[in-house]
Amino acid sequence: MISGMIMIFIAIWLYQSAMKAKIDNAIIWVGGGAILFFFLVFLFQSININILESLRSSEGGSAYEALNGADRKNQGDFTGFAGILKSLYEEFSPSLFSFAIIAFLRLKFITKESLSAANLFSGISEMFQKIKQSFKSPE
């Protein structure tokens, strides 16, 4: 759900950047960016699952199989402060890594600006301001 909301914001951000840069095929860039974001999130989630499974590989045996209560065995993995950090990493890292890759591709192919932190994330505050203004009633 978090990734879906971020994907909507990325689509708006790419569209506004393409309009500002006067790119002819802005909709293609928006669609391609949204599809690429979805694919990257899926890829990074798969990587996270493989990392999690490799950390648990030492547990192995029949007690790890789903038929023998894997849900009960997993209860201890995400408790305490370390468990909270694991959960936050598993939830947010795919979206954040994918967002950073999309931001880099936007910078290189849409805006064609030099690589800097300010340029990489430029336009995000304007996007949220325009979204906020779109909810105001015209006077």
Token reading at 32: 């391609």
Q: What does the pLDDT read at residue 67?
A: 56
Distance CA 17, CA 15 (A): 5
Q: What does the pLDDT read at residue 49?
A: 86
Distance CA 109, CA 33 (A): 11
Which among 120, 104, 128, 109 has a CA at the least distance from the CA of 40? 104
Residues in the chain: 139
The domain spans of the chain are 2-134
Each residue of 13-58: pLDDT tens digit? 999 999 999 998 999 999 999 999 999 999 999 998 888 777 766 5
Q: What does the pLDDT read at residue 80?
A: 79
- Higher-confidence position of 70 and 112: 112
Token reading at 46: 């798969």
| Phi-psi category of residue 79: left, alpha or beta, with phi > 0 → left and psi -120 to 50 → alpha | beta
Each residue of 97-133: pLDDT tens digit? 999 999 999 999 999 999 998 898 898 999 999 899 8
Contacts of 38 (CB under 8 A, 6+ apart): 3, 7
